[in-house]
């Protein structure tokens, strides 16, 4: 079952389609959950404020607590702002409290625009010690890595590879 939503979309109820598309074309946090693949895909679009990120991202986790044990793909290519380091650390702390050890060995692929973002990704990876991070410039190679069942037991969980 795939669930696709934007943080501003109405919730799915009853016999409604499990796919909801974002009608807001402005700044937004879009996400899609693929329960069969155990994958959360998230896109940051536009300039998202710290307060908004601190509210909306944890709201996704609360709605779908099973995603603590899912891999993640986070597309940052359309992010025109930059969530502050303070807010990023706060989100990471909230994640660690939420996920505990349920995310041990899981992967996060960050889709970035350029090498500057890769440096930022290395710093972010250290805030999520149970996960292995990699950066990509395109979505499909990232999805292929996340689908690959071969986990890297000898790699440190916070390793970031481009």
The 10s digit of each residue's pLDDT in 10-69 is 333 333 333 333 334 689 999 999 999 999 999 999 999 999 999 999 999 999 999 999
pLDDT value of position 135: 94
C-alpha 56/C-alpha 158 separation (Å) is 24
CATH number of the domain at 28, please: 3.40.50.10600
Which residue segment(s) compose the domain that 53 sits in?
2-161
Residue 76's nearest CA partner among 137, 33, 146, 32 is 137
28 beta partners: 45
Average pLDDT over residues 66-83: 93
Chain-wide mean pLDDT for the chain?
82
Using CA atoms, how far residue 162 sits from 78, 88, 148, in Å, is: 19, 21, 16
Taking CA 13 as the corner, what is the angle to CA 9 and CA 14, rounded to the nearest 5 degrees? Answer: 155
Q: Name the band, by pLDDT with cuts 50, 70 and 90, for residue 152.
A: low
pLDDT value of position 150: 67
2, pLDDT greater than 50: no
Give the percent of the chain with pLDDT over 90: 66
141, pLDDT greater than 50: yes
126, pLDDT greater than 50: yes
Q: Whole-prediction pTM value?
A: 0.78
Domains held by the chain: number: 1
- Give the burial class of 93: count Cβ atoms within 10 A of its Cβ; 0-12 exposed, 13-18 middle, 19 or more buried: exposed
């Amino acid at each position: 079952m795939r669930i696709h939503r934007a943080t501003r979309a109405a919730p799915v109820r009853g016999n409604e389609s499990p796919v909801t598309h974002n009608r807001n074309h402005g700044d937004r946090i879009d996400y899609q959950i693929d329960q069969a693949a155990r994958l959360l895909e998230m896109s940051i679009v536009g300039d998202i404020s710290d307060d908004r990120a601190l509210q909306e991202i944890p709201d996704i986790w609360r709605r779908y607590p099973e995603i603590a044990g899912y891999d993640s793909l986070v597309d940052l290519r359309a992010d025109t702002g930059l969530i502050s380091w303070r807010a990023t650390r706060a989100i990471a702390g909230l994640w660690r409290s939420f996920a505990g050890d349920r995310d041990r060995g899981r992967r996060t692929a960050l889709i970035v625009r350029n090498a500057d973002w890769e440096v930022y990704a290395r710093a972010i990876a250290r805030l999520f010690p149970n996960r292995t991070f990699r950066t990509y410039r395109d979505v499909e190679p990232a999805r292929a890595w996340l689908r690959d069942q071969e986990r890297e037991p000898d790699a440190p969980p916070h390793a970031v590879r481009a």
